[in-house]
Amino acid sequence: MTEAAFWRRCSVCKKEMAFAAGYWVCNVSTCNRPRTGLAFCSVSCFDAHLPTLRHRDAWAEEQRAPRREEWERQQREAAAAPSPASRQRPAAAPSAPRGEILVVASRLKDYVRNKSGMNTSDAVLDVLSDKLRALCDEAIRRARGAGRQTVLDRDF
């Protein structure tokens, strides 16, 4: 493993960001997920991402990059930890990859907001997708039991 010369690159301009240096993040949760993890070297780079993602209300929050030793320790721990795929229950048959979201997030969030005035956590999408997979698996079993190659509404 080679020693890194910088912590990471800016998500917009790709400029190198040093260890223990200040950087900016978007306050919107979808920009801060581990897989997304947007980081900006300046407020102007943060501003450049706003038109692309069309946030309704967003601001930049200042953060501090980890020291090199902390970052290397985090990387070693992440490499040693079991992957999320290895902690999942085995699928009975080939299906959509686990972790893939099966619902349209904006539609679900709009429904909840219109129905109750509440916001919806992004974690709901994973849980709901797991429930949908279970429902679909049961409907597939019923269709097979009936000798059909098509899942119908009555299978649910």
Averaged pLDDT, 1-19: 86
How does DSSP classify residue 66? P
Which is it for strands 16-17 and 8-9: parallel, antiparallel or unpaired?
A: antiparallel
Q: What is the mean pLDDT of the chain?
A: 84
Hey, is 40 helix, strand or coil? strand
**Alpha-carbon span 86 to 89, nearest angstrom:** 8
Nearest residue to 41 via CA among 74, 15, 64: 15
Cα separation of 149 and 156, whole Å?
15
pLDDT higher than 90, residue 147: yes
pLDDT of 81 reads 74
Q: How many domains, in total, are found in the chain?
A: 2
**Quick check: is 2 in a domain?**
no
Asked which of 81, 110, 138 is the last residue of a domain, the reply is: 81
Are 73 and 103 contained in the same domain? no
What SS3 class is residue 22? strand
Residues 72 and 115 in one domain: no
Q: Each residue of 121-139: pLDDT tens digit?
A: 888 888 898 899 999 999 9
pLDDT at 41 > cutoff 90: yes
- The residue from 54, 81, 108 where one domain ends is 81
70-119 per-position pLDDT tens digit = 888 888 888 887 665 555 554 444 444 556 888 888 888 889 999 999 99
- My answer on whether 18 and 69 are in the same domain is yes
Residues 69 and 98 in one domain: no
- Are 118 and 112 in contact by the 8 Å Cβ rule? The answer is yes
Range of the domain at 131: 94-155
Say if residue 50's pLDDT is above 60.
yes
Domain termination site, one of 81, 116, 143 = 81
Highest average pLDDT, of 6-15, 44-53, 75-84, comes from: 6-15
Q: Can you give the pLDDT at residue 90?
A: 47
